[in-house]
């Protein structure tokens, strides 16, 4: 079995690179992934599968039958996210994005190709894999939005009967040939917040006669984090970073309204449940005596990804099968968020960090979302192999 999977992965290696580059050159933004969805559908049909598109219009699921399953045979899932980021691709490569204002700078093109590569490998051994069950391939749209396309997949019932779910996310901190794993919290919760502040406005010569709105926005930006630190058990349990602030246009006019927008993140699930109240209290303390009026828009995002211990063990066995015993490395909890969290709230699962950095390149480890982000393309075969072995291992786990 192992030799046949390796043969399939070797035979497909150059094809998978070509597929990834095609995706990379044609990125589509969240909820607009119509071409990407058609592209994935065609690749699945090419290996004899029958994908089903989500009712939201983009994204799809597809069942790959292994062995001769019965009604009580297990179903396990492999997930990839398919959307791109709203940004420019500034790499100087032949497969650079051809879509203005869209780029696969988070590795979703690799995620899709790795799941398709795993599907191709599994299809080549499905008839006599030594285990029976179903591998559900999940291609999630709109992951880069809040709360993410995972919510649609769950609401449509696409994971009904699934006993476990697995996925990989590119990680430039990890060298190619390795996968970072972690039991428990892997990512952080992430919400979006906006504070709109209003006052009467006035002349900059007489700020004492009005509400100095720009100064208040500056106070929000510089003081709110400190207040949050006093409201939680440990400083740093909540991390507030503003990404936008705007008020006024004229140098001699105190404006009558303005806003700040940012992200509010926590590695702790219990703190995430309290973030709306905590943020409101912090803003009240900062602005309460200012004389301004304000309103808060707090958009709930995603909880932390909590990796199940047993399923992380299954994933680690898959990594060792694909990459050898030293392929598994421990990874730290990230401050980033991911909609994979919604899946593991419902069913056990594990999310791994796929190494994409070439240590021999001596190039800097560009972070995700960097305008010139790229990967060592050997990582595609690595990811496909890890997911194929993990899917088979999970089916074995649930048929013991």
Give the tens place of pLDDT for each residue, 131-160: 999 999 999 999 999 889 999 999 999 999
Residues 6+ apart with CB under 8 A from 312: 181, 182, 183, 350
Give the pLDDT of residue 2.
Answer: 86
* DSSP string computed for 208-223: GGS--HHHHHHHHHHH
Domains of the chain with CATH codes: 2-187+304-399 (3.40.630.10), 189-302 (3.30.70.360)
Give the pLDDT of residue 364.
Answer: 81
Residue 394: CA count within 13 A, CB half-sphere: 32
Give the pLDDT of residue 214.
Answer: 96
Query: Percent helix, strand, coil in the chain (nearest 5)?
Result: 40, 25, 35
Determine which of 87-96, 103-112, 229-238, 326-335 has the lowest per-residue pLDDT on average: 229-238
pLDDT tens-digit map of 356-366: 999 998 778 88
The Cα 114–Cα 281 span in angstroms is: 45
Give the pLDDT of residue 6.
Answer: 95
What confidence tier does 398 reach under pLDDT thresholds 50, 70, 90?
Answer: very high
Which pair of tokens denotes residue 181? 């794993």
Measured CA distances, 65 to 70, 123, 133, 240 (Å): 11, 8, 6, 45
Which pair of tokens denotes residue 310? 């047993």
What is the arithmetic mean of pLDDT over 3-13? Answer: 95
Residues 6+ apart with CB under 8 A from 125: 1, 4, 5, 8
Over 90: is that where the pLDDT of 400 sits? Answer: no
Average pLDDT of the chain to the nearest whole number: 96
Over 90: is that where the pLDDT of 1 sits? Answer: no
What is the arithmetic mean of pLDDT over 284-298? Answer: 95
Over 80: is that where the pLDDT of 331 sits? Answer: yes
pLDDT tens-digit map of 53-111: 999 999 999 999 999 989 899 999 999 999 999 999 999 999 999 999 999 999 999 99
Q: Is the pTM of this model over 0.85?
A: yes
Between 400 and 181, where is the model more confident?
A: 181
């Amino acid at each position: 079995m192992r030799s046949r999977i390796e043969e399939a992965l070797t035979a497909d290696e150059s094809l998978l690179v070509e597929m990834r580059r095609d995706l990379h050159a044609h990125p589509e933004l969240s909820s607009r992934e119509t071409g990407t969805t058609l592209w994935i559908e065609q690749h699945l049909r090419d290996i004899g599968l029958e994908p089903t598109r989500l009712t939201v219009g983009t994204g799809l699921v597809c069942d790959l039958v292994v062995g001769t399953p019965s009604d009580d045979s297990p179903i396990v899932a492999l997930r990839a996210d398919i959307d791109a980021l709203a940004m420019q691709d500034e790499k100087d490569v032949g497969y650079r994005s051809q879509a203005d204002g869209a780029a696969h700078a988070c590795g979703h093109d690799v995620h899709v190709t790795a799941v398709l590569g795993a599907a191709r490998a599994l299809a080549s051994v499905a008839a006599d894999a030594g285990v029976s069950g179903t591998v559900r391939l999940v291609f999630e749209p709109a992951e880069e939005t809040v709360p993410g396309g995972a919510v649609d997949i769950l609401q449509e019932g696409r994971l009904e009967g699934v006993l476990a779910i697995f996925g990989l996310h590119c990680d430039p901190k990890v060298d190619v040939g390795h996968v970072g794993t972690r039991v428990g919290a892997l990512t952080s919760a992430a919400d979006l917040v906006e504070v709109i502040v209003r006052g009467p406005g006035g002349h900059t010569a007489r700020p004492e006669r009005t509400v100095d709105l720009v100064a208040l926005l500056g106070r929000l930006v510089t003081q709110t984090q400190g207040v949050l630190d006093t409201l939680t058990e440990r400083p740093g349990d909540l991390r507030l970073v503003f990404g936008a602030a705007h008020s006024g246009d004229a140098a001699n006019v105190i404006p009558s309204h303005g806003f700040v927008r940012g992200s509010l993140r926590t590695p702790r699930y219990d703190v995430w449940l309290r973030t709306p109240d905590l943020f409101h209290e912090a803003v009240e303390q900062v602005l309460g005596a200012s004389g301004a009026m304000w309103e808060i828009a707090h958009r709930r995002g995603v909880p932390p990804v909590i990796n199940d211990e047993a399923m992380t063990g299954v994933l680690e066995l898959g990594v060792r099968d694909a990459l050898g015993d030293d392929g598994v490395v421990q990874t730290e909890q990230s401050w980033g968020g991911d909609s994979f969290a919604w899946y593991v709230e419902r069913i056990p699962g594990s999310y791994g960090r796929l190494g994409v950095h070439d240590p021999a390149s001596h190039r800097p480890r560009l972070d995700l979302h960097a305008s010139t982000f790229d990967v060592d393309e050997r990582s595609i075969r690595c990811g496909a192999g890890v997911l194929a072995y993990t899917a088979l291992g999970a089916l074995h786990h649930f048929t013991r």
